[in-house]
Amino acid sequence: MLIIMQHKQINRLKAVLADTNRTNKWLAERLGKSETTISRWCTNEVQPSIETMVQIAQLLNIDIKDLLNSSK
Q: What is the CATH number of the domain that holds 56?
A: 1.10.260.40
Residue 72 has what pLDDT? 74
Helix, strand, or coil (residue 70): coil
Residue 59 lies in a domain: yes
Mean pLDDT value of segment 16-42:
97
pLDDT higher for 63 or 7? 63
Residue 72 lies in a domain: no
Alpha helices in 1-72 (DSSP H): 13-19, 24-31, 35-42, 50-60
Q: 36 is in which domain, residue-wise? A: 13-66
pLDDT higher for 8 or 7? 8
Taking the C-alpha atoms of residue 45 and residue 29, their distance in angstroms, rounded to an integer, is 20
What pTM was estimated for this model as a whole? Answer: 0.86
The sign of the dihedral angle between the CA atoms of 19, 41, 43, 39 is: positive
Compute the radius of gyration of the chain from its Cα atoms: 13
